[in-house]
Amino acid sequence: MQVHIMGICGTFMGGLAILARQLGHEVTGSDQNVYPPMSTQLEEHGIALKAGYRAENLEPRPDLVVVGNAISRGNPELEAVMNLGLPYISGPEWLYDHVLGVAWVLAVAGTHGKTTTASMLAWILDSAGLNPGFLIGGVPLNFGVSARRGGGSFFVVEADEYDTAFFDKRSKFVHYRPRTVILNNLEFDHADIFPDLAAIQRQFHHLVRSIPGNGLIIAPNWEPALDEVLQMGCWTPVEHTTREHSGLVATWAYHLLAADGSRFEVIHDGQPAGVVAWELTGLHNVHNGLAAIAAAHHVGIFPERGAEALSKFRNVKRRMEIRAEVDGMILYDDFAHHPTAIATTLEGLRARVGSERIIAILEPRSNTMRMGVHAGLLGESLSSADIAVICQAPDLGWDAAAATSGADNIQVHDSVDAIVVWLEKVARPGDHILFMSNGGFGGIHLKAEAALRRRISR
């Protein structure tokens, strides 16, 4: 079958394209925003990319068009699909029909940590010899790809609450019908499609309603927004994770063996059940890892084995990924784009580097960020950095300087080039320079590295 994917360079749709190729389909795709790592992945799989959206992209006519959720009515290529009467379907529907419907689905949902936790879970299953399939919104370094069909009965999917398609405004995850579900956390996000937290909770409850009675839900016991979701009705057993010294009863807990989270002991039903010693930092990653071990236990993997696997887990591209080391300065790339994720990422780095200087550089790029919904929270979320920089793009809909006026460590620059010029002047050996964006950030990582190397050569 010839399958054409609109919006193919999105992390979800790109992963879908890889799965379709592995299933033997001929795959083409179109998009207007093309940048690595997804564009590189697609080229490596022999998938032809067509820049921009045009009716001509549908020649020769495909047997099926898979429409990404970023595609709206008025898009010339979509209008041609409809006018020609070509069969079309949403990405989540295609995924269930062709992959998930015959698998034990393990889904990871929540506002933060979905990509990392799903990657951890897939790695644990793979280390146990289960050869899982997976579709993840990032590239796990242990696998080098964001999606694969796998050869077993298990499939790990990052379960996103964003809407499905222009013709289906339900969250993507209601299509997946998982048996094992991790609910990591729940905060207000995606302000472009959800009016408030209650609207997101309603979608999460739809997910809960789709889990069978012999399935399992893994959830933290410190998230009131998730408690409210489960109180709407739950027909599936729930195992809770808890924080250290919380005093709350839970099936799964941890004991920190290193303050930065790089070593911790897993506690299952009150008993020690393995030690994780890895290169990751931050309590958020400890929580992610604990949930992944708990979910893997549901399919029969002992927690000791899960902990052993996580000790060899290498994280995900663009999650505190070291991009370069220049004259004693370390440049990191991170996907954080919500105040909570920004704060936990910086806290984890601070716990690891101690008093060494951290420079955090943020591009507010997500729809929610660009709308200014979380603008008032940025000052506090960036507080662990010695110096923080916010990029005030010309089309940003709010004043970053005014929103963070109470934070002494924050400054605002109006372009990537201005930030690079500033960084070249102020950066010094021993600095940890962290770039945060859920997009390409104008190639700032390479520009900054080049500028710092030029400085050395002068």
At 138 the pLDDT is: 86
C-alpha triplet 216, 217, 222: angle, nearest 5°: 150
Q: CA 81 to CA 76: how far, in whole Å?
A: 9
> In this structure, what is the dihedral angle of CA atoms 133, 139, 142, 147, given to the nearest 10 degrees?
20
Three-state SS at 435: strand
User: Where do you find CATH 3.40.1190.10 in the chain?
Assistant: 99-310
Kindly indicate the confidence band of residue 37, based on its pLDDT and cuts at 50, 70 and 90: low
The answer, yes or no, to whether residue 457 has pLDDT greater than 90, is no
Architecture of domain 2-90: 3-Layer(aba) Sandwich (3.40)
Start and end residues for every CATH 3.90.190.20 domain found in the chain: 321-457
pLDDT for the residue 198: 96
pLDDT > 80? residue 181: yes
Helix (DSSP H) and strand (DSSP E) numbers for the chain: 15, 23
Confidence of residue 294 (pLDDT cuts 50, 70, 90): very high
* 3-state SS class at 321: strand
Q: Reduced to 3 states, what is the DSSP secondary structure of residue 365?
A: coil
Contacts of residues 9-12 at CB distance under 8 Å and 24 or more positions apart, as own/partner, are: 9/33, 9/34, 9/35, 9/38, 9/39, 9/42, 9/49, 10/38, 10/68, 10/70, 11/38, 11/136, 11/137, 11/138, 11/146, 12/68, 12/91, 12/135, 12/137, 12/158, 12/160, 12/172
The Cβ of residue 49 has, within 10 Å, a number of other Cβ atoms equal to: 18
pLDDT at site 35: 65
Fold of 321-457: Protein-Tyrosine Phosphatase; Chain A (3.90.190)
Is residue 158 within 8 A of residue 111, CB to CB? The reply is: no
Residue with tokens 């070593």: 263
- Exposed/middle/buried for 71, CB within 10 Å: 0-12, 13-18, 19+? buried
pLDDT digits (tens, 9 = 90+) for 121-173: 999 999 999 999 999 988 899 999 899 999 989 999 999 999 999 999 999 99
Q: Is the pLDDT assigned to residue 439 strictly greater than 90?
A: no
For domain 99-310, give the fold: UDP-N-acetylmuramoyl-L-alanine:D-glutamate ligase (3.40.1190)
Predicted confidence band at 372 (pLDDT cuts at 50, 70, 90)? confident
Q: How far, in Å, CA of 241 to CA of 243, rounded?
A: 7
Instruction: Note whether 244 and 267 are within 8 A (CB).
Output: no
pLDDT value of position 36: 65
| Beta-carbon contacts of residue 90 (< 8 Å; ≥ 6 apart) | 66, 67, 69, 164, 165, 167, 168, 175
Question: By mean pLDDT, which of 83-97, 266-280, 318-332, 335-349 is the weakest?
Answer: 335-349
In 3D space, the residue among 242, 299, 338, 275 whose CA is nearest the CA of residue 107 turns out to be: 299
